[in-house]
Structure 1
């Protein structure tokens, strides 16, 4: 089975992911890809605990996500990958991960970031990383919930939505 959703969302597992995307796509495995979070076991456990009861969640590093065993899990399960920032999917793609599309669903306001959509705020570094992903052949789609319209993100990165 192909990867159901690869989503950048700085909140990781929360209502939109659990009820919105999870209720629609019904994942059985959720990989939370974050090197930083793997170094914080107590915080990582909170995200694992927040996963839908029909899903098994794991916090994994970028190197772990690139392992063949992770690809086998993705192929065998109804899988989501969640990323806290634009860095993780870029590193995966650069590492050879077969990432075809990334949902940018929640990058919220922070100092130095400007609104692209009500749920997507980017700084120059984010834009550069997303453009690099796009150049590597990854489709970038901004969509907060599956019931809301999807927006191709590339025009927003060029400054002309």
Structure 2
């Protein structure tokens, strides 16, 4: 059975911080991108899946439904996988579907109107805050951190920033 070495929400999906910094030293050999739009766009899916990172990680693209199907089919096979979710909602859907995520790193959600900046790289909306609370209630440790060397902000501290 596979090991989930990282579960991260990052709306930029695959980039250097994820591929080089977060996966180092964990035996990760695959990155699974979970985004409905990317999974539905055959051209973009092909670009992601035909590219291997400089670290040699295989990249696979799944929709928020198909990641649950993949887990239920074979528990991700022999992959030691980093799950990269486009949104907190997709991570919640995976957990609700039985994907055993113990910790969720929220590291990249664009700061825009209607969100509160909880760390340098994350703007949290009220809806996303509610999803985080639900994940926490389901036993998932949710934390906010851009890169491993930056400050790790707990869910409770992030929620306190929202008022």
* Residue equivalent to 2:152: 150
1:60-139 → structure 2 map (5 Å cutoff): 60-67=62-69, 68-69=72-73, 71-73=75-77, 76-139=78-141
> TM-score scaled by structure 1?
0.87
Is the aligned partner of 1:13 residue 2:14? yes
Aligned residue number for residue 38 of structure 2: 37
Q: Give me the CA root mean square deviation.
A: 2.1
**3-state SS of the aligned residue for 1:18?**
helix
Residue pair 1:12, 1:47 contacting (<8 A) in 2 also: no
Aligned partners of 1:64 and 1:70 also within 8 Å: no
Matched residue, 1:55: 57
C-alpha separation in 2, matches of 1:72 and 1:12: 19
Aligned residues between the structures:
159
In 1, distance between residues paired with 2:162 and 2:109?
19
Alpha carbons 1:14, 1:50 under 8 Å: kept: no
Where does structure 1 lack aligned partners over 5 or more consecutive residues?
none
CA distance in 2, matches of 1:32, 1:43: 12
How far, CA to CA, are the matches of 1:21 and 1:148 in structure 2? 12
